[in-house]
Structure 1
Amino acid sequence: MMKRRVVIANKKIVRLNNEYTTQQLNQMQEVTHKNPKRRYLAMILIVIILVMMLPTINLIKSYQVLQSRRTLKIKSEKQSAQLDRQLAIKKANVDKLQDPTFIEKYARAKYLYSKDGEKVFPISELSDGGVTDKK
């Protein structure tokens, strides 16, 4: 058998060149070769996590926009209902003002208009003459 000498850190280490030592050396080399693969695997895992974070962030932002639009929709529906009520009141007032007898009553109540010989007594409840702003 042939002996090989390896000097490490000022120490003399002798390695025997037989079948057992070569098997052990091969196993050690396999283990050392597996480590770089694990490093790459960890880097790939980190990259995958970062790539998956981007759609998650976009999903969260989209959800927040959706929630804000839902609240805006609710506010606009309430405002629309209120405007519909006001429109109905205005239409009712227009219909009332097309009647000549109502116009006469309105002028008497609002502007204290009277015919000859009539006495007008103002009543605070009828000061608007029957035209309503609220229902």
Structure 2
Amino acid sequence: MAKHVIQLNNEFIQNKNRKAVAPVPKRKHLGLILVVAILLFSLASMSLIKSYENLQKQVALEQSAKKQYDTLSKEVATKKEEIKKLQDANYLQKYARSQDYSQSDEKVFNTNNPLVDGDGTSQ
């Protein structure tokens, strides 16, 4: 035999039904918490992106400084070699002749005398 259950309409049953339908109070501010979390993560992400961009600028600046340093160091080495060459009397004479610094009426004689050093002084 099938039994029929009759629902009583008293105050206890009505309160029980109201509690079942009411939303859970813990989820009441879930949307606000989610918005704040998204805002915080976006601020952190923006800061991270700016830091990365600054890092890339610094890397590019470092590379250009290295290139400039290399070119300047090569130039300094070249100048040092020229200074050493200009201290040699034979090279200085050859350089002066090649640049036409000799006077028009000057006669230049090349001597291969073993008694005279390369700087023109005698031994």
Please say whether Structure 1 and Structure 2 have the same fold, judged by a TM-score greater than 0.5: yes
| Structure 2: tracts of 5 or more residues without a match | 1-7, 110-123
Instruction: Report deviation, 1:77.
Output: 0.7
- The answer to whether the aligner puts 1:18 opposite 2:9 as a matched pair is yes
Gaps of 5+ in 1: 1-16, 119-135
Q: 2:60 aligns with which of 71, 76, 80?
A: 71
In the alignment, the residues of structure 2 paired with residue 94 and residue 31 of structure 1 have an alpha-carbon distance, to the nearest angstrom, of 96
User: Take 1:84 and 1:70, find their aligned partners in 2: how far apart are those partners?
Assistant: 21
Query: Post-superposition, which runs of at least 4 consecutive aligned residues in structure 1 deviate over 6 A?
Result: none
Q: Provide the rounded CA distance (Å) in 2 between the counterparts of 1:57 and 1:31.
A: 42
TM score, norm. by length of structure 2: 0.68
CA-to-aligned-CA distance 1:54-76 (integer Å, 9 cap, x gap)? 11111110001111111111111
**Pair 1:90-2:89 in alignment:** no
Q: How many residues align?
A: 100
Structure with the bigger percentage of strand: 1
Task: Name the CA distance, whole Å, in 2 between partners of 1:32 and 1:70.
Answer: 59
TM-score norm. by structure 1 comes to: 0.63
Alpha-carbon distance in 2 for matches of 1:27, 1:95: 104
SS in structure 1 at match of 2:18: helix
Q: RMSD of the TM alignment (CA)?
A: 2.4
Percentage identity across paired residues of the two chains: 35
